Amino acid sequence: MSSELRYTANTQLEHLHARYTGTGHADLSKYDWLTHQHRDTLATVVGHPTLTSFLAIADGEATGRVKFEMTERMLQPCGPPPAKDED
């Protein structure tokens, strides 16, 4: 791969990452990956009526409440991010 090509491929990749939220890359941190996973899962639970019903029955809550709490949890599903190293 010529350096030029690598350069264009990279910009494309960045563009793709901005476009497709949740796509991973080589330097993804564990925290980011996990957060993406959780957000994807929560979104799919809200998106499938059977899964929301299932959770609502198990938990004894209304489906509307389950959907709401799931959506709220998407904001920060895995707690605050780890502190960045100083360097």
Q: Which residues bind other proteins (CB under 8 A)?
A: 18, 20-22, 32, 35, 39-40, 42-44, 46-51, 53-54, 56-65, 68, 71-72, 74-76, 79-84
CB of 31 to other proteins, least distance (A): 9
Residue 10 or 71 having the CB closest to other proteins: 71
Residue 24 or 49 having the CB closest to other proteins: 49
Separation between Cα atoms, residue 16 and residue 78, nearest integer Å: 25
CB of 57 to other proteins, least distance (A): 5
Axis crossing angle, helix 63-73 with helix 49-59, rounded to the nearest 10 = 100
Region of 79 (left: φ > 0; alpha: ψ -120 to 50; beta: rest) is left
